[in-house]
Amino acid sequence: MSEEKKSKLLAKELFYKKTNVFEAKTAEERSAMMAFAEDYKAWLDASKTEREAVDETVKILEAAGFKKYTLGDKVNAGDKLYLNNRGKSLFAISVGSEPIEYGVRIMASHIDSPRIDLKPNPLFENDGVGYFKTHYYGGIRKYQWATIPLALHGVVTKSDGTTVKVTVGEDAGDPVLCISDLLPHLAKDQYQKTLAQAFTGEGLNIMICSSPYIDEDGEVAYDGVRLNVMSILNEKYGIVETDFLSAELTAVPAGKSVDVGLDRWLIGGYGHDDRCCAYTSLRAILEAGDTVHTNIVALADKEETGSCGVTGMRCTLLMDITANLAASFDANESVVRSNSLCLSADVAAAFDPNYPEVYEKRNSAILHCGVALAKYTGSGGKGNTNDTSAEYVGLVRKIFDDAKVVWQMAELGKVDQGGGGTVAMYISEHNIDTIDIGVPVISMHAPFEIISKADLYEAYEAFAAFCK
Ligand code: MN
Ligand code: MN
């Protein structure tokens, strides 16, 4: 038997090499990944808005014995609790056995995704076609949302104070809605425009109806298409046009997530950003059972628009929860925070071999190479970022390595090519060590985003190791 050369052994010992999940994991583990992805797809398809994600998750938490928690409630070790914040953000809490002064472990993701919201007064009729005026939500590339089937989701609060849920375009046989685009034959002028000019915010009008209301005498009514829309909506949901003023209605891609590729190792679907991190962290806290650490899974709203508002991560609620947990054990809240740790769980940009020019491959997340850690995000000269300390990266790295999690370190793309942020800085500003971590995504923010089942599973394993 020939011995390996010293240089080869040395290279193995000294060099960093990314691990591909397929090299690292057994056939048994690979089939566990496939099964996990099916559970995720079912939850994702039922959770197309933050409200739906909260509803679906509360069902799962209650089935697992988590009890409703209200600020001010006294808690005890072993308690499994959840706080539903206005139906749009959610906190799952598992109280650990160690003293609360040792800190809590937070896994914070978001359950809102880029989409096309209706304006408060949305309905108009133009040349016999009825439309909804829209105001897009989050960072969308507008051209991607034309000529695809759209579903309408949301809630309408009526004048009597009751709220009805609206879903159109998801059930078999349901009609869908659509934003039109030019035919190539007549797009000569459009072709000359830049992407930013060719598709405008005010141009994202959604076709909702194309026939007028017809009176009992067979005559077409005045403002007939508009009247037809309201008549159909009134029959189904009991709403009148004024009720749009107190509504949250949004157009999202219609249909379910699907496997991508002949080998079925990718999932294509709407809203992986950031529901893949929400679901994996949820599964981790559910399956951890009774733990030493106190764990909190935070599912935030409004990340895509800057984390503002009462359901965004800049709201004090997460810190209020931490303070309330501390108070339950007569502990000093600031001590609890100072010893707490956070994984800011949000998707990463996966290196796309079709667009290598915007990535710096050496420092990019590679598909199937596991969950991606990001020491910093931001843009330009690391502007607006939580830049994690070497020590905390080292601690997280050890937790993951000990649990045999396949992980990689990544930044978004080439320096000065663009950038992005997460909720990390809104948590670290409370004196909590925080690092970004997430599943790499191809075509992030598109109506049809793509992730790896293997990376999804490694995210779950990472969260499981963190909250153990
Ligand atoms: Mn995100
Ligand atoms: Mn995003």
- Token pair of 18, please? 């990314």
Q: Which residues contact 237 (CB under 8 A, 6 or more apart)?
A: 156, 164, 166
- The answer to whether the beta carbons of residues 422 and 303 sit under 8 Å apart is yes
> 396: CA distance to ligand 1 center in Å?
21
CATH superfamily, region 115-253? Aminopeptidase i, Domain 2 (2.30.250.10)
Q: What pLDDT shows up at residue 312?
A: 98
CA of 170 to the centre of ligand 1 (A): 24
Residue 416 CA neighbour count, 13 Å, CB half: 0
For the chain (468 residues), the mean pLDDT of every run of 10, in chain order, is: 85 94 96 98 98 98 98 98 98 98 98 98 97 98 98 98 97 97 97 96 98 97 97 98 98 98 98 98 98 98 98 98 98 98 98 97 97 94 92 98 97 91 95 98 98 98 96
Query: What is the distance in A from the centroid of ligand 1 to the CA of 375?
Result: 16
Give me ligand 2 centre to Cα 176, in Å. Answer: 25
What residue spans in the chain does CATH classification 2.30.250.10 cover?
115-253
Please tell me the distance between residue 161's alpha carbon and the centre of ligand 2 in angstroms: 33
Asked if 50 and 112 touch (Cβ cutoff 8 Å), the reply is yes
Instruction: Give me ligand 2 centre to Cα 275, in Å.
Output: 10
Nearest ligand to the CA atom of 304: 2
Ligand 2 centroid – CA 56 distance (Å): 21
Return d(Cα 70, Cα 60) in angstroms, integer.
19
Residues 6+ apart with CB under 8 A from 423: 108, 110, 300, 303, 307, 313, 344, 346
DSSP strand pairing (163-168 vs 150-157): antiparallel
Find the ligand nearest to 446 CA.
Answer: 2
pLDDT given at position 4: 87
- pLDDT, residue 3, reads 78
CATH 3.40.630.10 range(s) for the chain read 15-113+270-467
Query: Cα(238) to centroid of ligand 1, in Å?
Result: 35
Of the bound ligands, which one is closest to the alpha carbon of residue 423? 1
Q: Which helix (H) or strand (E) holds 249?
A: strand 247-253
pLDDT score for 2: 64
Q: Which tens digit of pLDDT belongs to each residue from 38-91?
A: 999 999 999 999 999 999 999 999 999 999 999 999 999 999 999 999 999 999
User: From the CA of 110, which ligand is nearest?
Assistant: 1
The C-alpha atoms of residue 459 and residue 465 are separated, in whole angstroms, by: 10
Ligand 2 centroid to Cα of residue 2, in Å, is: 52
174 alpha carbon to ligand 1 midpoint, in Å? 30
Ligand 1 midpoint to CA 274 (Å): 5
**How far does the centroid of ligand 1 lie from the alpha carbon of residue 32, in Å?**
26
Q: How far is the CA of 346 from the centre of ligand 1 (A)?
A: 5
The alpha carbon of 248 and the centre of ligand 1 are apart by a number of angstroms equal to: 21
Question: How many whole angstroms from 23 Cα to the centroid of ligand 1?
Answer: 28
Q: Which ligand is nearest to the CA of 137?
A: 2
Task: Note the CATH number of domain 15-113+270-467.
Answer: 3.40.630.10
| The pLDDT value given to residue 152 | 98
Q: What 3-state class would DSSP assign to 305?
A: helix
Q: For residue range 364-416, what is the model confidence (pLDDT) as tens digits?
A: 999 999 999 999 999 999 999 889 999 999 999 999 999 999 999 999 999 99
Angle at 453 between CA 60 and CA 403, to 5 degrees: 80
